[in-house]
C-alpha cells in the first residue's frame, strides 16, 4: 500500500518537472516573437494601408 502512494507521488513530481521544463522552453522563443511583433506593429500603425494594421491587431 505504501509503495502505491510513493509511486503516485513520484509520478506527480515527474509530471510537474516535465511541465515546468516545457513551460520554460516555450517562454524564450515566445518572448522573442512578442518583441519583434511589437516592433512590427508599431511600424504598421504608420502604414498608409489601413487594412494591414487592423488585420495585424486582430491576428
pLDDT value at residue 16: 94
| pLDDT tens-digit series, residues 4-59 | 789 999 999 999 999 999 988 888 888 888 888 888 888 888 888 888 888 888 87
| pLDDT tens-digit series, residues 27-36 | 888 888 888 8
Number of domains within the chain: 1
C-alpha 57/C-alpha 45 separation (Å) is 10
Q: What's the DSSP call for residue 48?
A: S
Q: What is the CA radius of gyration of the chain?
A: 22
Note down the domain range covering 32: 2-58
* Grid cell locating 53: 494594421
Amino acid at each position: 500500500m505504501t509503495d502505491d502512494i510513493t509511486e503516485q507521488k513520484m509520478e506527480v513530481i515527474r509530471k510537474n518537472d516535465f511541465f515546468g521544463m516545457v513551460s520554460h522552453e516555450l517562454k524564450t522563443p515566445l518572448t522573442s516573437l512578442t518583441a519583434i511583433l511589437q516592433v512590427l506593429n508599431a511600424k504598421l500603425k504608420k502604414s498608409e494601408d489601413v487594412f494591414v494594421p487592423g488585420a495585424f491587431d486582430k491576428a
